[in-house]
């Protein structure tokens, strides 16, 4: 059923800190502390003791500012769709261990003494819009399969039919420059390269990567501002796919701090680290942009899917930020607000 309620608890000044634990096994005997952790992790803290449980406590810290209020767009017994604000991370990672969508879902569920929903896909921290979450294990498995199924067909015989599949996502974005063609289909593969500050590597346009398909439609050209309002349709999506594909076609998202023209980061060979420590966690910050940095306008506007239990076709819409509205849409919204 449709829903427009909001929830969210203000963030405490500091989080609860973290505890990491490992078990040293017999097969690990003879290793030095550095060898043990460098074998298991690329970066580690030295501890030792064969057969003992190793625990590292990280003291609480103040995480960077992030929104805490979340709007509910749709909800039933099996799933819930949220309107994620830009600047809020979906899952814990890096400096954001508490200030995430997942934490707010947990807190909301605890208030009502119910199991918390789980996100079945991700949106970049700087991306706003529809985030789909599952309430049950069955719904989670089926929704996850929708995303996996859609991605697996990209690059095959079903490329030409974007309607095939059980889920489709439509985004709005503000691209830099004036795009000439009214519609552009991008099927550039996306892979991973080493990049400073990103432990698992950075996703970029790569011939050796995995297939990805985006259909870009032009909604409004602004010659004076040298920008183009675009709609991008994807069936599922690779990480940062829209940012990479728009960059690959020569029109990266306006204000994107990371991706430049060509589907590559603006600086690939920079490995310098800021020697000063951040106040919000003690990490050494990379001097160059990382995927979680904000500054661009990208919004998951519409989601069409087959309900994971009933197979009913569900369409969910997230209200558009003003910067991503066409002049006609802005006038219509203003008229509706005046008459309300």
Other CB atoms within 10 Å distance of the CB of residue 312: 9
Q: Is a pLDDT exceeding 70 seen at residue 205?
A: yes
Q: In whole angstroms, give the CA distance from residue 22 to residue 67.
A: 33
Q: Is a pLDDT exceeding 70 seen at residue 49?
A: no
Q: In whole angstroms, give the CA distance from residue 49 to residue 28.
A: 10
User: Mean pLDDT over residues 161-186, rounded?
Assistant: 86
- Residue 129 structure tokens: 């819009």
* Helix (H) or strand (E) segment spanning residue 304: strand 298-306
Q: In whole angstroms, give the CA distance from residue 282 to residue 58.
A: 10
User: Mean pLDDT over residues 253-273, rounded?
Assistant: 80
Q: Is a pLDDT exceeding 50 seen at residue 337?
A: yes
Q: What is the pTM (predicted TM-score) of this model?
A: 0.84
The residue among 114 and 161 whose pLDDT is bigger is 114
Residue 82 — pLDDT band, cuts 50, 70, 90? Answer: very high
Q: In whole angstroms, give the CA distance from residue 204 to residue 245.
A: 9
Q: In whole angstroms, give the CA distance from residue 250 to residue 244.
A: 10
Contact 246, 188 (CB under 8 A): no
CATH numbers and ranges of domains, the chain? 18-58 (no CATH), 70-339 (3.30.2350.10)
Task: Specify the pLDDT at position 240.
Answer: 95
């Amino acid at each position: 059923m449709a829903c427009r309620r909001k929830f969210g608890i203000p963030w405490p000044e500091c989080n609860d800190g973290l505890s990491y634990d490992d078990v040293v096994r017999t097969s690990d005997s003879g290793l030095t502390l550095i060898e043990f952790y460098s074998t298991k992790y690329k970066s580690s803290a030295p501890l030792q003791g064969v057969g003992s449980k190793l625990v590292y406590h990280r003291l609480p810290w103040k995480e960077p500012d992030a929104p805490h209020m979340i709007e509910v767009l749709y909800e039933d017994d099996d799933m819930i769709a949220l309107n994620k604000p830009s600047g809020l991370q979906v899952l814990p990672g890096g400096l954001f261990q508490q200030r995430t969508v997942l934490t707010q879902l947990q807190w909301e569920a605890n208030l009502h003494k119910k199991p918390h929903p789980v996100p079945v896909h991700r949106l970049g921290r700087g991306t706003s819009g529809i985030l789909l979450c599952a309430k049950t294990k069955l719904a989670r498995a089926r929704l996850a399969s929708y995303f996996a199924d859609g991605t697996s067909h990209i690059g095959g015989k079903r490329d030409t039919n974007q309607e095939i599949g059980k889920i489709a996502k439509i985004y709005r974005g503000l691209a830099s420059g004036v795009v000439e063609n009214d519609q552009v289909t991008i099927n550039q593969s996306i892979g991973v390269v080493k990049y400073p500050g990103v432990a698992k590597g950075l996703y970029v346009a790569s011939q050796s990567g995995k297939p990805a398909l985006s259909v870009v439609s032009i909604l409004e050209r602004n010659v004076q501002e040298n920008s183009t309002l675009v709609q991008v349709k994807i069936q599922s999506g690779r990480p940062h796919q829209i940012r990479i594909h728009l960059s690959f076609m020569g029109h990266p998202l306006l204000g994107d701090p990371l991706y430049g023209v060509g589907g590559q980061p603006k600086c690939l060979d920079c490995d310098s680290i800021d020697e000063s420590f951040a106040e919000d966690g003690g990490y050494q910050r990379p001097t160059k942009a990382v995927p979680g940095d904000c500054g661009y306008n990208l919004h998951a506007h519409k989601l069409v899917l087959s309900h994971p239990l009933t197979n009913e076709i569900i369409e969910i819409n997230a209200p558009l930020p003003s910067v991503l509205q066409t002049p006609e849409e802005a006038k219509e919204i203003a008229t509706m607000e005046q008459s309300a």
